[in-house]
C-alpha cells in the first residue's frame, strides 16, 4: 500500500483563539546544538526537501495574545498528499517500541528536553521570551506568557516504510501544522510543506533476521530484487525491486505479500526465474516462492505453505539450495539437532529427517551450497563451540561429518558463526569462512572428494557477531572469475571492509569500503551494473540498532 490518496470533503477545525504561528524553520542536520544558527535545510517559512529515514528538527515561533486560567499548549499534526490531518505522536527511531508511523516525533541526543531556546526566527523587533527544546515529547508544557514570542523545537522523522505495511513514494508531500490542546490549528503562517525522497541506494525497512542469501538477484533486463521487512513492528515479507541498478528501490506486488510473518530463520534459493524461500517461526516452517519473470515487476507465486512443525529451536536458523533440476534441499534448526527436507520437481515435500541424532552435541547455524553436479556441502555449528562440514551426494546420501573448529564460541550469538558457503566451480572446492571466539575470521576448504584443508587466518581484525539481533557473523562471501571476495563488519568501528583471495588461504589486506556507520549486517551477490560490468552489489544495515530505516545498497567493481 502506498501513502497518500486525498480525501474529499475534509472538515477544517476552528482556528485556535489567542495563538499566532509567526515563523518556522527546518534543520536537516539533526545533530547541531539547540541554539546554533546552523544546519538549516531551507530559508525561514519555506517549503523544504528532505530524505526519508533521516531525522530532522522543526523550530517554530509562536505568540499568545491572551491566556485563560488553563494556559496554552501546542502540538503537531501532519497530513500526507492532502489526506486528513493526524496527530504527530512519539515513536523512537530507528528502534520503536510499539509502532512505526509515517511521521513521528523522536528522541534527540543534541540537547536535553527542556533546554531553553534563544531567538533564531522571526522579526527582531518582536518581543520574545525563552521557549524550550523538546525531545521525545509530543506537546509543549503549558505556558501562560502573553505578548512575547516563544520558540519551540522538535526532532522528527518521516519513514520510507511504516506500519501497514505502507510505502512512501518519492515526491510525497507532507504538511505539518501547529494545534492547541483542543486540536484547533493556529492562525498565522501556512502549514509547513515537506517534500520527501530517498537518497540514492536507500532501501529503508529492516533486514530479515538470520538470513542466508536473499539477494540481490538480477534479471535479464537488469532489474535487481532483494527481500526484506518493512519495519521492526510490522515484520512481513517484501520483495524490493530496483530498475536503475540499485539507485532507487520500491516494493513490488505488495498486495500479495505472504501471510506468515515473524521472519526469523529465512533462506532463499534461485532456480531460473523463481526465487524459493523458506522461513522458520518458533514451531513451524513455511515455504514461499516469487516469480522474477512476471512482466516487468515480478510477483508472489506461493503464499506461506506450511511444510513442517518442529519443536521450537533455541534460535531460528535455515538455509535452502536449488539443484539444477529445480529440486530443493532445506536445512533448518530443531530443538536439539537439525532437520533436512527435500522438495521434488513436482512440488512435493518429503517428511523432515533429523541429522546426527546419535552424536553429541546439539546443533545450529546451518549453511549450504550446491555444485554443478548436484552435490551439496553443508556446514553447521554446535552449542559447545564446534563446527562441522560434510557433503550430501547427488543421491541424497551423507558423507561423515568432519570438524572444522572446536572454538566457535558457546554463546547464542556464536551459533551463526559460519558465513554463506561458496563452491569454486573450477576446482569443486567448498570454501568455508567462519568466526572463532577470538573474533577473527578463518578459512578452510573441503574438496569435492571430502579432503579438508588446513586452517588459514583471513586477517587480524575482529569481526562483529550477533549485531542488533542478527544472530550471525557480520560477513558475506562470493566468488567471481577465480577470485573470492569477502565483506565483513569490523567489531570495534562497525565499518565494512573488503578483502579478496586468489589462492587458498592467502588474503589481501582488508580495505575499508563503508565508514561512519554502525553496521549490523551485510548480504550481496555478483551482478552487472548499468555499463554491463560485473560488480559485488550488496545491501547492508548502516545503523538500525535493531530497528528499521537503514538498509542501503552499494556496489564494488569486480575486475
List pLDDT tens digits, range 387-414: 999 999 999 999 999 999 999 999 988 9
Share of the chain above pLDDT 70, in %: 97
Q: How confident is the model at residue 5 (pLDDT cuts 50, 70, 90)?
A: very low
Looking at residue 160, what is its pLDDT?
96
Q: Is 469's pLDDT higher than 80?
A: no
Strand-pair category, 74-80 with 285-291: unpaired
Mean pLDDT of 6-10: 37
pLDDT tier for residue 3 given thresholds of 50, 70 and 90 = low
- 93-107, 144-158, 289-303, 313-327: lowest mean pLDDT where? 289-303
- The answer to whether the predicted template modeling score (pTM) of the entire model surpasses 0.85 is yes
Output the nine-digit C-alpha cell for 363. Answer: 546443533
Q: How far apart, in whole angstroms, are the C-alpha atoms of residue 74 and residue 184? A: 9
Burial class (CB in 10 A: 0-12, 13-18, 19+), 266: buried
Task: Give the confidence band of 90 by pLDDT, cuts at 50, 70, 90.
Answer: very high
What pLDDT band is residue 270 in, cutting at 50, 70 and 90? very high
- Reading phi first (left if > 0) and then psi (alpha if -120 to 50, else beta), residue 359 is in beta
246 CB contacts (<8 Å, ≥6 apart)? Answer: 201, 216, 224, 537, 553, 554, 555
Tell me which long-range contacts 322-325 makes (C-beta under 8 A, separation of at least 24): 322/269, 322/270, 322/271, 322/276, 322/370, 323/370, 323/374, 323/376, 324/372, 324/374, 325/374
C-alpha cell at 350: 518429503
| Cα–Cα distance measured from residue 313 to residue 365, given in angstroms and rounded to the nearest whole number | 11
pLDDT score for 470: 75
Give the integer Cα–Cα distance in Å for 318 and 340. Answer: 10
Measured distance CA(163)–CA(232) in Å, rounded: 9
Give the confidence band of 12 by pLDDT, cuts at 50, 70, 90: low
For residues 285-294, give the mean pLDDT. 93
- CA dist 515 to 248, 285, 338, 465, Å? 21, 37, 37, 18
How much is the mean pLDDT over the chain? Answer: 94
C-alpha cell at 284: 513451524
Q: Confidence band (pLDDT; 50, 70, 90) for 10? A: very low
pLDDT confidence tier of residue 240, bands split at 50, 70 and 90? very high
Report residue 101: phi and psi, to 5°: -75, 170
Angstrom distance (rounded) from CA 420 to CA 313: 21
Which pLDDT score, from 0 to 100, does residue 263 have? Answer: 73
- What is the dihedral sign for C-alpha 549, 479, 556, 253? negative
Amino acid at each position: 500500500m502506498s501513502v497518500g490518496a486525498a480525501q474529499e470533503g475534509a472538515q477544517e477545525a476552528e482556528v485556535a483563539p489567542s495563538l499566532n504561528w509567526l515563523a518556522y524553520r527546518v534543520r536537516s542536520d539533526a545533530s547541531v546544538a539547540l541554539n546554533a544558527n546552523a544546519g538549516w535545510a531551507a530559508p525561514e517559512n519555506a517549503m523544504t526537501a528532505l530524505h526519508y529515514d533521516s531525522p530532522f528538527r522543526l523550530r517554530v515561533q509562536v505568540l499568545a495574545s491572551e491566556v485563560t486560567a488553563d494556559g496554552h499548549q501546542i502540538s503537531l499534526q501532519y497530513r500526507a498528499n492532502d489526506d486528513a490531518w493526524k496527530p504527530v505522536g512519539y515513536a523512537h527511531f530507528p528502534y520503536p517500541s510499539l509502532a512505526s508511523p509515517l511521521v513521528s516525533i523522536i528522541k534527540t541526543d543534541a540537547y536535553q528536553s527542556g533546554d531553553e531556546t534563544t531567538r533564531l526566527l522571526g522579526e527582531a523587533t518582536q518581543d520574545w521570551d525563552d521557549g524550550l527544546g523538546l525531545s521525545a515529547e509530543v506537546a509543549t508544557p503549558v505556558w501562560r506568557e502573553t505578548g512575547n514570542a516563544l520558540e519551540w523545537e522538535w526532532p522528527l522523522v518521516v519513514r520510507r516504510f511504516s506500519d501497514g505495511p505502507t510505502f512512501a513514494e518519492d515526491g510525497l508531500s507532507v504538511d505539518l501544522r501547529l494545534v492547541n490542546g483542543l486540536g484547533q490549528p493556529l492562525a498565522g503562517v501556512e502549514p509547513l510543506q515537506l517534500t520527501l525522497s530517498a537518497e540514492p541506494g536507500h532501501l529503508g525497512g529492516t533486514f530479515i533476521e538470520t538470513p542466508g542469501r536473499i539477494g540481490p538477484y538480477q534479471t535479464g533486463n537488469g532489474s535487481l530484487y532483494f527481500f526484506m521487512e518493512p519495519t521492526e513492528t510490522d515484520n512481513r515479507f517484501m520483495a524490493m525491486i530496483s530498475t536503475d541498478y540499485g539507485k532507487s528501490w520500491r516494493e513490488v506486488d505488495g498486495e500479495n505479500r505472504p501471510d506468515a510473518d515473524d521472519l526469523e530463520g529465512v533462506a532463499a534459493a534461485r532456480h531460473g526465474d523463481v526465487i524459493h524461500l523458506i522461513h522458520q517461526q518458533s514451531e513451524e516452517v513455511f515455504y514461499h516462492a516469487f516469480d522474477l519473470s512476471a512482466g516487468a515487476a515480478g510477483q508472489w507465486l506461493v503464499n506461506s505453505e506450511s511444510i513442517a512443525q518442529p519443536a521450537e529451536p533455541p534460535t531460528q536458523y535455515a538455509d535452502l539450495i536449488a539443484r539444477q533440476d529445480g529440486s530443493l534441499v532445506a536445512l533448518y534448526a530443531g530443538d536439539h539437532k537439525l532437520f533436512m527436507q527435500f522438495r521434488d520437481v513436482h512440488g512435493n515435500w518429503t517428511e523432515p529427517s533429523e541429522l546426527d541424532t546419535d552424536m553429541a552435541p546439539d546443533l545450529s547455524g546451518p549453511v549450504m551450497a550446491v555444485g554443478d553436479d548436484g552435490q551439496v556441502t553443508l556446514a553447521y555449528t554446535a552449542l559447545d563451540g564446534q563446527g562441522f562440514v560434510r557433503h550430501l551426494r547427488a543421491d541424497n546420501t551423507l558423507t561423515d561429518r568432519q570438524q572444522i573448529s572446536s572454538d566457535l564460541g558457546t554463546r547464542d550469538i556464536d551459533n551463526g558463526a559460519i558465513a554463506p558457503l561458496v563452491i569454486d566451480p573450477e576446482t569443486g572446492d567448498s570454501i568455508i569462512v567462519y568466526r572463532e571466539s577470538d573474533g577473527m575470521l578463518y578459512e578452510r576448504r573441503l574438496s569435492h572428494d571430502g579432503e579438508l584443508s588446513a586452517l588459514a587466518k583471513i586477517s587480524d581484525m575482529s569481526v562483529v557477531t550477533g549485531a542488533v539481533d542478527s544472530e550471525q557473523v557480520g560477513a558475506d562471501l562470493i566468488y567471481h572469475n577465480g577470485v573470492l571476495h569477502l565483506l565483513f563488519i569490523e567489531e570495534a568501528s562497525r565499518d565494512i571492509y573488503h578483502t579478496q583471495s586468489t589462492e587458498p588461504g592467502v588474503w589481501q589486506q582488508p580495505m575499508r569500503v563503508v565508514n561512519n556507520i554502525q553496521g549490523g549486517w551485510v548480504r550481496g551477490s555478483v551482478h552487472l551494473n548499468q555499463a554491463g560490468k560485473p560488480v559485488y552489489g550488496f545491501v547492508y544495515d548502516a545503523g538500525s540498532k535493531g530497528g528499521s530505516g537503514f538498509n542501503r545498497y552499494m556496489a564494488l567493481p569486480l575486475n
